[in-house]
Amino acid sequence: MNWKQNWETIREYDEIKFDFFEGIAKISINRPEKHNAFTPRTVIEMIDAMNICRDDTNIEVIIFTGEGGKAFCSGGDQSVRGHGGYVGKDEVPRLNVLDLQKQIRSIPKVVIAAVAGWSIGGGHVLHVVCDLTIAAENAMFGQTGPKVGSFDGGFGASYLARSVGQKKAREIWFLCDQYNAQQALDMGLVNTVVPLEELEDTFIEWAKKIQEKSPLAIRMLKSSLMQNWMGKRESRNWQGIPHCFIIYRMKRKKEEMPLWKNVNRIFLNILSFHKSLATKG
Ligand code: 2NE
């Protein structure tokens, strides 16, 4: 499967592609010969690309995908599993895929998984933690961890259960069955299913719809939806730090979209009203 748009390379990597098109960044695992299984290097590269996405104000929406059209990602590369875990070329046994998952959850921009072919094991968890999933008709989903003596007890279990319910999540993990795109749609695992040749058009169309909206409203909503899912203590951290920072920034640097200036002003007025009540009380 070749991409149709004229994507411009943001940075060259060994195991991923990192491209840009009209405000959209595309992070694509580039190991089609292994169904895009990830090694420690792949994860390091994806984390680096995500850091760039966070800081670059030209990047508004992020797409996670895989090269080749036959796999989104088949999880951890089993051929580099050693005694201490997954071992990279630097011989350090670690994978750090949880760091990447946390980054996807916390980045204040929408992350869309565009899934063609296999989304399996740790590759399945990657799409689960993305904000939205667009599946091509050839997509196949499932967990395989228990078959290879592995599991994801973090987002891979708890957030999956939030998405599809406890019974279904247990079925997915305990039976290690595979589900096609329609089954995934029926259980609420993905947002939509499209023909493979329409996958890129669809994720660009969805990204454009998001780009038209207030970035402040979108980032606040992403953060709020996360809090609905997190424990109270963790949630307070999320609520306080990024929101205060955003408001500070908005005060200093006027929001670029004129339409939303008023929304920000109203929001700040409400905050100062609450503050004045607290002072009076
Ligand atoms: C994905 C699946 C079901 C596809 O099957 P099929 O028959 O369409 O393809 P095939 O022939 O199995 O795969 C094509 C090539 O890709 C390699 C295969 O070994 C094969 O290579 P060659 O024989 O042609 O040289 N390949 C595929 N997946 C790979 C992988 N994960 N690591 C290394 N090489 C891989 C089928 O390929 C499959 O079941 N793959 C294994 C899925 C798996 O077990 N993933 C790891 C789960 S654990 C995990 O990801 C994890 C975790 O549990 C916790 C934390 C972090 C990660």
Q: What is the pLDDT of residue 85?
A: 84
Tell whether the model's pLDDT for residue 258 goes beyond 90: no
Expressed in angstroms and rounded, the spacing between residue 228 Cα and the centre of ligand 1 is 34
Q: 10 Å Cβ neighbour count for 58?
A: 11
102 against 232, higher pLDDT: 102
Alpha-carbon span 145 to 221, nearest angstrom = 32
Atom 31 of ligand 1, residue of closest alpha carbon: 77
Q: What is the pLDDT of residue 84?
A: 79
Q: Which atom of ligand 1 is nearest to the CA of 71?
A: 1
Atom 18 of ligand 1, residue of closest alpha carbon: 34
Substitution candidate for ligand 1 out of 29, 72, 74 with most atoms within 8 A of CB: 74
Q: Which two tokens stand for residue 248?
A: 């500070």
Tell me the chain's radius of gyration from C-alpha atoms.
Answer: 20
Tell whether the model's pLDDT for residue 251 goes beyond 50: no
The pLDDT confidence band at residue 275, using thresholds 50, 70 and 90, is low
For the chain, the average pLDDT equals 88
Expressed in angstroms and rounded, the spacing between residue 35 Cα and the centre of ligand 1 is 7
The predicted model scores a pTM of 0.87
Q: What is the pLDDT of residue 279?
A: 52
Q: 10 Å Cβ neighbour count for 209?
A: 10
Expressed in angstroms and rounded, the spacing between residue 126 Cα and the centre of ligand 1 is 15
Alpha-carbon span 265 to 146, nearest angstrom = 52
Q: What is the pLDDT of residue 241?
A: 45
Tell whether the model's pLDDT for residue 242 goes beyond 60: no
Contact by Cβ (8 Å): 121, 144: yes
Atom 20 of ligand 1, residue of closest alpha carbon: 34
Alpha-carbon span 127 to 213, nearest angstrom = 23
The pLDDT confidence band at residue 237, using thresholds 50, 70 and 90, is low
Q: What is the pLDDT of residue 90?
A: 87
Q: Which atom of ligand 1 is nearest to the CA of 75?
A: 50
Expressed in angstroms and rounded, the spacing between residue 34 Cα and the centre of ligand 1 is 7
Q: Give residue-wise pLDDT tens across range 67-114.
A: 999 999 999 999 998 877 898 888 888 889 999 999 999 999 999 999
Q: Give residue-wise pLDDT tens across range 147-200.
A: 999 999 999 999 999 999 999 999 999 999 999 999 999 999 999 999 999 999
Closest of 70, 20, 74 to residue 42, by C-alpha: 74
Q: Which two tokens stand for residue 125?
A: 């968890």
Expressed in angstroms and rounded, the spacing between residue 141 Cα and the centre of ligand 1 is 13
Q: Which atom of ligand 1 is nearest to the CA of 143?
A: 47
Beta strand 81-82 with 85-86: parallel, antiparallel or unpaired? antiparallel
Q: Which residues pair with 110 in a beta bridge?
A: 61
Expressed in angstroms and rounded, the spacing between residue 264 Cα and the centre of ligand 1 is 48
- Cβ–ligand 1 distance for 40 under 6 Å, the answer no
